[in-house]
Structure 1
Amino acid sequence: MQVATEPTERVNGQTHADSLGARVGWLLPPLVLALYALKPLGPVKDPDAYWHVVAGEHLLQSGEFVLEDPFGAATDKVWILNQWLPEVAMQWGHAAYGLPGVAFLLCLGSLLVGLSVYAACRRRAAPLATALVLALVFVALSGSLSPRPQLVTFALAAVTTSAWLLTREDDRARWWLIPLTWLWACSHGMWFVGPVVGGIVVVGLALERRLPVRALGRLALVPALSVAAAAVTPVGPRLFTSPLQVGGVTAYISEWQRPRLADPAVLAALSLVLVVGLYLLRRRRADWIAILLALAAAAFTLTWARTVGLGAIIAAPLAAAALQELIRQPVTSAPQRERSAAGVAALLSLLLVVVAAPAVAGSPALGPNALDGALGALPDGTVVCNDQVDGGWLLLQHPGLRPTMDTRVELYSVEHIQAYLRFMAGDEGWENYPLRVGCAYAVLPRSAAVVAQMRASGRWPVTAESAGYVLMRLS
């Protein structure tokens, strides 16, 4: 979709550039960008973040990208470190500054996501429309801005979508997307989104019949070679089979469930798709690229909870351009004052994060922290029955212990997951789980249903109890 590039429209005898909106509108995107940097700041509460740090540390020590898991007591699948690049960065941050370092990386990553979406939208819309879309994307990402490698996917999805929309405008192949995909494939399992977006644009160009077959073939080389580049990461071809491990256990992973339509994140993402749809209905000719990308954005939004934000990001530049068409305002490139304001907002926000992180993120937001002393006194190699949420915390805080469950769900068999769920619920036969995994101790939330059963059995006396957790020993 094409947008104007010169401010020719007049409002009450003034050019749009002289209107009130133009005079203050440039401040809005920097304010929203500050929200991206500051809102995620807080204690590290994502259970995955802890084992990502452990993964980065183990990789730096061993150089192993595909390995038998040395940490869990009940894992039975190969651990493929297909997100190793951000995991190493998280380990460096943790080694240097502890959990505040991890919290800082979250805020930095969130800001980079915001900057990527801002750049993609601002190419096609004025500050007001850009700020609105940027805010809606933030709402759509509200459940996904956590210290995990998926932040790389969000940022690079915005960059890649914008790049392919530029290719739609000038028919130029952007070969730099190939090495970018290699970096993406070293960072997160959803690297394939980049080649998929490229393939969608090439198919759209073919349906529009405005390029010769040879030119289409040349453009198609970019996503094809991007996939080939992903095959030569340090993980090797195993990168392509790693998603199959998750496929068998998605029923037990909340983020792989279908999202609720009433969720504000879903509503925000769908509103962006709706804006694009309204624009497309007004066109006389079919804009196949926009149609296909909007359908892809809707599919990502409605299929899995973890891809709601991704759907919003893919729709964002199209929605920004559509808003410009609907409100009939011209677009100019970002003036120096706007770019400066965005840079100042980003730097000041990160400076505030640096100052505040030690106070607000110095302690973990999960795990039996009050039992650190008692857990630290257990012999190395002790197998501990635990709540899944606390598994990553145990791996990081007490590397000598071997938890029986954590959020690396793809490393566990379905049978083990089901046995763990029956154990935590205190269902009949719960006694078999500790015997099966070889637990000598159990550290569990006091509120877990099985705790009452364990106490009543007389075989699991409490050795320590504090802050809502109990440490029990098999007698």
Structure 2
Amino acid sequence: MSAPATPAGAPPAGSPRRGPLAIASLVLALVLVLIATSVPMESNDFWLQARIGRMIAETGEIPRTLLFPFTEVRDRAFNMHEWLPSVLFHLFVSTVGEDELRLVLGGFGLLLFALAASLAWRLTRSFGASLLLALLAMAVANYRHYLRPEIVALVFLLALLHLLVAFQQDGRRRRLLWSVPLAVIWANSHGSFLLGPVVAGIFAVGEAAQAAWPRRSHGMAAWAGAARQAGGPYAAVAAAMALASLLNPLGWGMYQFALQLTTSEAVRTILTEWQPTLSPKYLGRRYIVLFLGVLAAALALVLVRRDRLRWTDWLLLAAFGLLAFRALRFPVLFGFVAIVPCARAIGLRPPAQVERRMVGAATVLAACALPLVLKFGNGYGAWPYYAPSANFTLMMRERIEDPDLRGNVFNHAVLGPELIYRAWPRLKPVVDTRADSYGDAYYVAVIDLLNDETRLRAFLDEYDVNYMLLMREDFDDTVRHMKALRQDGWRGYFQDHKAVLLYRSKPKAPARP
């Protein structure tokens, strides 16, 4: 059994956390978190997952193919790596309704905040440090607070960090058994399940090095034995999680999918979230500025208090710091993982004077952030009453839900999920947002059709397409100027500031011999 990493019996150094300032800080923090996270459902992917979740609930089976498109691609295998959250999202819609999903997002916000604060509390026993670190982590993560499987995966990541840090402190191996069911659920929820074995592996290497380094002059047998004893339990967790993750519908294929996704050219060039974090286009965005600010503060703290950090802390910072710069979707991970080294740098039960300063800092942070969020919105410019999104407007929903509309639809991928949710199989799309399952070639080919009128017309005729559902900018920039489409009978059915719905007003021309 490994020795505790932090002393368990250090005397308390005062308890200012129970004062009025601490209460005010907590209230302000909770209000801030609720306002920043209780926003309307913005993610277009949600509709697809909720529809698949409904199918699973009704049939008891997970769809094995793409199923929804009208082209031959419908028979291609579907990477059902997020089927469990799909069922959960269907239950959310059934319980609170489509218009109150902000309550679910707010609930996830409070849950993540509580897990982040309690993780910091494990390492510091400081109210001020816990509140401050949790607020900063939520600030970094808020730009991706969407109702997507990723939000469930963040809960799993924090739960794993709790398990590993708790074992660092008390050495109770039995608690590590929880990592196995956690790995199974994670692998059936999101492609980030790979982080489970990776994080456990980082703890294994870090704790092994922590134990071996002081014994490096005592001979290989001494330092190797210490390394095995300290790092062995974490290595066992990493191996167990890697094996348990195979309990999913794809088996080993889930690993292949997760690795292939990161190398997909279509994903990395078309999807914003896979763009490099420091891309010039996004460098001035509020969430990038927040991330860089928190990163700088974290680095300053750990460098000043570097004598308190363990090898594991440095490895976590290095691994997730580098990952955060790889793509726009990854800084959120750094925000939560950095709690561990930052809390360790603050130390267990800081002196009363330091505690008061941290409570004051948390109060000032929440008090300053609250009016900014009220005025400018959260990390992606959303408020409890409005969120920018590609979701159908009420009037577009009424058109799409018209039972008289039937047939094949050439649509923008972003609009595919809600089209499927509201109208499939009456209306069948050409594509949706599952780029990983469609494959690069098909995904890019569909997008390129809008840049070639001749090929687009041939495609519409070949597949007997009755409708086109386009983003407003695509219609204004390209399709509006395709005169031959008008000759083919294409007319406007409905348009708003987000999307345009076209229909074919006369039979297509007979095929040329």
TM-score by length of 1: 0.82
C-alpha separation in 2, matches of 1:244 and 1:472: 40
Would you tell me which structure has more helix in proportion to its own residues?
Answer: 2
- SS of 1:440's equivalent in the other structure is strand
User: Residue 92 of structure 1 corresponds to which residue in structure 2?
Assistant: 91
Equivalences, count: 441
| CA distance in structure 2 between the aligned counterparts of 1:412 and 1:318, rounded to whole angstroms | 40
Q: For each residue in 1:358-388, what CA deviation from the matched residue of structure 2 results, as whole angstroms up to 9, or x when unmatched?
A: x958999622642445444566861101122
The answer on 1:281 being equivalent to 2:303 is yes
* 2:323 corresponding residue in structure 1: 300
2:287 aligned to which of 256, 265, 284? 265
Give, in angstroms, the shift of residue 461 of structure 1: 2.6
Which residue number in structure 1 is paired with residue 369 of structure 2? none
| Unaligned 5+ runs, structure 2 | 213-225, 357-383, 507-513
Query: Partner of 2:143: helix, strand, or coil?
Result: coil
Unaligned runs of 5+ residues in structure 1 are 9-15, 333-358
Deviation of the 1:452 alpha carbon = 0.9
Counterpart AA for 2:417 = G
1:201: Cα distance to partner? 0.8
Using the TM superposition, name which of 198-207 and 419-428 deviates more: 419-428
Could you report, residue by residue, the CA deviation over 1:166-213 in whole angstroms, capped at 9, with x for unpaired residues?
333334432212212222222211112122111101101111225452
> Paired residue for 1:226?
241
Other-structure match for 1:290: 313
Aligned amino acid, residue 97 of structure 2: G
2:398 maps to 1:393:
no
TM superposition shift of 1:138 = 1.9
Local SS of the residue matching 2:338: helix
Aligned twin of 2:440? 414
- Deviations along 1:327-360, one digit per CA (max 9) or x if unpaired, are 855779xxxxxxxxxxxxxxxxxxxxxxxxxx95
- Contact 1:28 1:127 (C-alpha < 8 Å) held by counterparts: no
Structure 1 residues 55 and 22: CA distance shift in structure 2, 3 A: same
Q: Does the Cα contact within 8 Å between 2:156 and 2:186 map onto a contact in 1?
A: yes
* Partner Cα separation in structure 1 for residue 96 and residue 387 of structure 2: 9
* Residues 445/223 of structure 1: CA separation in 2 closer, same or farther (3 Å cut): closer
Distance 1:18 1:106 in 2: 32
Change (3 A) 1:369 1:37: same
Aligned position for 1:461:
490
Change (3 A) 1:383 1:219: same
Deviation larger for 179-188 or 194-203: 179-188
Which residue of structure 1 lines up, in the alignment, with residue 204 of structure 2?
202
- Residue 17 of structure 1 aligns with which residue? 15
Deviates more, 1:66-75 or 1:263-272: 263-272
Q: Is the 8 A contact 2:40 2:101 kept in 1?
A: no
TM-score normalized by the length of structure 2: 0.76
CA 1:323/1:424 → structure 2, altered by over 3 Å: closer, same or farther? farther
- SS of match in other structure, 2:494: strand
Distance 2:138 2:483 in 1: 46
* Preserved contact between residue 203 and residue 234 of structure 2 (Cα < 8 Å): no
Once the two structures are overlaid, the 10-residue window that deviates more, 460-469 or 375-384, is 375-384
- Report the counterpart of residue 253 of structure 1 in structure 2: 271
Q: Tell me the equivalent position of 1:354.
A: none
Which segment drifts farther, 268-277 or 168-177?
268-277
What is the one-letter code of the residue matched to 1:205?
E
Kindly indicate whether the alpha-carbon contact (under 8 Å) linking 1:426 and 1:450 is maintained by their aligned counterparts in 2.
no
d(CA) in 1 for partners of 2:461 and 2:26? 57
Cα contact 1:41–1:104 (8 A) shared by 2: yes
The Cα of 1:289 is off from its aligned counterpart by: 0.9
Aligned equivalent of 2:380: none
Hey, what does 1:7 align to over in structure 2?
12
Structure 2 SS opposite 1:161 = helix
CA distance in 2, matches of 1:123, 1:27: 22
Contact 2:115 2:158 in 1 (8 A): yes
Moved more, 379-388 or 298-307: 379-388
* Shift in alpha-carbon separation, 1:244–1:208, aligned structure 2, 3 A: closer
Looking at structure 2, the residues matched to 455 and 43 of structure 1 have their Cα atoms a distance apart, in angstroms, of 39
1:55 aligned onto 2:52: yes
Contact 2:34 2:110 in 1 (8 A): yes
Root mean square deviation of aligned Cα:
3.3
Confirm whether residue 177 of structure 1 aligns to residue 179 of structure 2: yes
Q: Which amino acid aligns with 1:72?
A: P
Per the TM alignment, residue 98 of structure 1 is displaced from its structure 2 partner at its CA by 2.6
Structure 1 residue 214, shift from structure 2 partner: 4.2
Cα distance in 1 for partners of 2:184, 2:65 equals 25
The separation in 2 between residues aligned to 1:375 and 1:436, in whole angstroms, is 23
